[in-house]
């Protein structure tokens, strides 16, 4: 069983979506300075780095991050790749026959952008038409490899189309070393009460062969054997 960590490390060096709080770490206690422990204070936005968008992010009546169904956050996932594509719409998605896929991760050229500290506005994104297609296909969670699934100058339509229908949005993934195919996904956010979003530790288990393996059972905590 191979575990792939697709989480972007939180540090002052990661890009931040314009207007969001900047990530910082401050030492409160240091063994090197004669203290008994190492202890830090961290400051970050709820949508820093790899994070989840719950419906509440765009709708005051929506489900909040601590109310998310765990069964959506754990299970079989399909990674599809869009090299050289800036706008992912219906035509781009239809080629992959994603009907019946619960969790879909979009790998784009964005994964290369994590090497840059400054935020890039020209990242690849899902279009409103693409979002509507995901609704038709029955997707329950969609992820992408940059800080927003929607284009930088978007109106919010993509987010609202997805979130208002209960499709969770997983943003800020690093899929640089991930090959397209089937995996088992784990993406558990911090349990922030009433949260509009939260950082996530996102993992993929296995590879193309994972489609034929039994899925993770959250009721027994038994993992499929490699």
Domain spans of the chain?
A: 3-7+46-212
Mean pLDDT of successive 10-residue segments in the chain (226 residues)?
95 95 96 98 97 97 97 98 98 94 98 95 98 98 98 97 98 97 97 98 81 46 40
Tell me what pLDDT residue 1 has.
82
CA–CA separation, 225 vs 213, rounded Å?
8
CA–CA separation, 28 vs 41, rounded Å?
6
Q: What is the SS3 assignment for 27? A: strand
Tell me what pLDDT residue 209 has.
52
- What is the CATH number assigned to the segment(s) 3-7+46-212? 3.50.30.50
Pairing mode, strands 168-171 and 141-144: parallel
Catalytic annotation, pick one of 4, 47, 51, 57: 57
57 annotated active-site: yes
């Amino acid at each position: 069983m191979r575990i792939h960590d697709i989480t972007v490390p939180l540090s002052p060096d990661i890009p931040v979506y314009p207007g969001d709080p900047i990530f910082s770490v401050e030492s409160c206690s240091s063994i090197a300075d004669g203290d008994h422990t190492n202890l830090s204070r961290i400051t970050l936005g709820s949508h820093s780095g790899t994070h989840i968008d719950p419906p509440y992010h765009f709708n005051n009546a929506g489900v909040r991050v601590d109310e998310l169904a765990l069964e959506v956050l754990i299970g079989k996932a399909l990674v599809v790749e869009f090299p050289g594509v800036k706008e992912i719409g219906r035509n781009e998605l239809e080629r992959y026959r994603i009907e019946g896929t619960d969790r879909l991760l979009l790998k784009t050229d964005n994964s290369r952008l994590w090497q840059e500290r400054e935020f890039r506005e020209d990242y690849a994104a899902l279009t409103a038409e693409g979002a509507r297609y995901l609704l038709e296909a029955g997707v329950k969670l969609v992820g992408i490899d940059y800080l927003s699934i929607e284009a930088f100058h978007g109106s919010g339509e993509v987010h609202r189309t997805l979130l208002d229908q209960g499709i969770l949005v997983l943003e800020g993934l690093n899929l640089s070393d991930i090959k397209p195919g089937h995996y088992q996904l784990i993406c558990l956010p911090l349990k922030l009460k009433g949260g509009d979003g939260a950082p996530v530790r996102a993992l993929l288990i296995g590879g193309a062969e994972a489609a034929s393996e039994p899925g993770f059972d959250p009721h027994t905590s038994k993992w499929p054997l490699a």
